[in-house]
Amino acid sequence: MKLATLLLFAALPVAAQQLELPRPSLGAKVSQTVGVTEISLDYSSPAARGRDVFGSVVPFGEVWRTGANAATRITFSKDVQIGGKTVAAGTYALFTIPNKQAWIFIINRDANQFGAFSYKMGEDVVRVEVKPEPVAPRERMTFLFNDSTDDGTRLTLEWDRTRASLPIRVNTEQQVMAAIATLEKTGWRPWNQAAAYMLQKKDKDFDAGLRLVDQSLKLSEQWNNTWTKAQLLAGKGLLREARAAAERAQQLGAKDPENFNAAAEVKKALSEWKAR
């Protein structure tokens, strides 16, 4: 009987005999969409555990994997600008060199490294020096995105009592304009979306928007693109034409009341434009 029991346990799969426990350095992922570009990181997050981190656990002046285990990986879905240089879309290793007065962020082509043991400076795409800041204690090393806009973001590392941030710029307007330039006449929506973008971007371009929305209207007259045209006309100061377009948008929207989600906005605009 005892022999049979031993044989039974010996026959159990190895996985069934393993105990899953928390790792000292936890796997972590973070991502941020900036304009039309997604930036994501995959890293291991070590804990301070009462130790002095920078200058001790992480020596000053040496290339650091910026985490634990495998080197931290950073991925850009589209080209970005870092330190005044273009970094092509793709996945890279992110290293740092911490110091008391300055940190160096490194984007390295070899994304599949364990630690920094095989790091080669010749594979660096860009290096950026930044000034670290003191912060409230943070037990685990953490990456955050701060100050994100359509034009850029800051990738921020915090651990122990130190914060270091890497500015990243994106080419949202150029990317959107390039996409607009390749639009095919497959439907009215993309043209209307492109026209609406001309209203939303920092340097509004009403004339370009009107050309785009007219293409949308040629394909199909909807309340959506008619309302976009009304706003573009108002932006140019052509209020009489804008009122006519807004009234037409109301007529079209009345035929599709469940989806006419701009009804209140159109009504408010008409009231304002008639008063001017």
Q: For 13-22, 66-75, 253-262, which range has the lowest pLDDT when averaged over its residues?
A: 13-22
- Percent share of the chain, pLDDT over 90: 72
Q: What is the mean pLDDT of residues 253-266?
A: 90
Q: Please state, in angstroms and rounded to a whole number, the distance separating the CA atoms of residues 231 and 254.
A: 19
Position 108 scores a pLDDT of: 96
| Average pLDDT value for residue range 252-263 | 90
pLDDT more than 70, % of the chain: 91
Calpha distance 174→81 (Å, rounded): 13
Look at residue 122 and tell me whether its pLDDT is greater than 70: yes
Q: Judge whether 53 and 159 are in contact, CB under 8 Å.
A: yes
Q: Tell me what the mean pLDDT of segment 8-17 comes to.
A: 53
Q: At the top level of CATH, which class does the domain 183-274 belong to?
A: mainly alpha
Can you point out the beta strands (E) in the chain? 26-34, 37-45, 72-76, 80-82, 85-87, 90-97, 103-108, 124-130, 133-146, 152-170
Is the pLDDT at 22 greater than 70? The verdict is no
pLDDT, position 137? 94
What pLDDT, on a 0 to 100 scale, did the predictor assign at position 131? Answer: 97
Those residues whose C-beta lies under 8 Å from the C-beta of residue 83, and which sit 6 or more positions away, are 126, 127, 128
Q: How confident is the model at residue 70 (pLDDT cuts 50, 70, 90)?
A: confident
Q: Would you state the pLDDT for residue 177?
A: 84
Question: Which pLDDT value is given to residue 24?
Answer: 63
Distance CA 111, CA 139 (A): 26
pLDDT in tens, 180-231: 877 766 689 999 999 999 998 888 899 999 999 999 999 899 999 999 999 9
pLDDT at 11: 53
3-state secondary structure of 116: coil
Report the pLDDT value the prediction gives residue 12, as an integer from 0 to 100: 52
Q: What is the pLDDT of residue 16?
A: 54
> For 12-16, 89-93, 163-167, 235-239, which range has the lowest pLDDT when averaged over its residues?
12-16
Domain ranges of the chain: 25-171, 183-274
Average pLDDT, the chain: 89
